[in-house]
Amino acid sequence: MTEDELARAVDRLIDQVAQWPPSRWVALTKAGGSRAKVVHALAQRLADLEAGSTGHPRHEVPRLDNDLVLPDQVKVTARDLLAAGAAPDVLAEAGQAVADARAALNGS
């Protein structure tokens, strides 16, 4: 996966969820977790991949009270990963994480 492909995949996910009202965020997925949990986990995974790529220590992406900020958290962590100049295998892992999140959200 290239940087451009990852950016497009993230943009598609953000476009899908950015306008969700609070009731859609708390809806459960087939796996039993909320949609908000799925998207927050993606933001955390992207942040972890960025930390691994740069050698920075991992940090916890805060789980804020307002689910409406989750698209922004994904956007920021994805941009940080892209700015890190991650290796192709890391970009592929990030792309798979985005695809898995979309599948979980669509299978809700």
Over residues 15-69, the pLDDT tens digits come to 999 999 999 999 999 988 999 999 999 999 999 999 999 999 999 999 999 999 9
Rg, C-alpha atoms of the chain: 13
Residue type, 25: W
- Asked if 40 and 73 count as a contact pair (C-beta separation under 8 A), the reply is yes
Structurally, how many domains does the chain consist of?
Answer: 1
Q: Residue 86 is encoded by which pair of tokens?
A: 């991650």
pLDDT tier at 107, thresholds 50, 70, 90: confident
Where in the sequence is the domain holding 11, given as residue range(s)? 3-106
pLDDT at 108: 56
Q: Give the integer Cα–Cα distance in Å for 108 and 30.
A: 5
Q: Residue 33 is encoded by which pair of tokens?
A: 């977790």
pLDDT at 16: 95
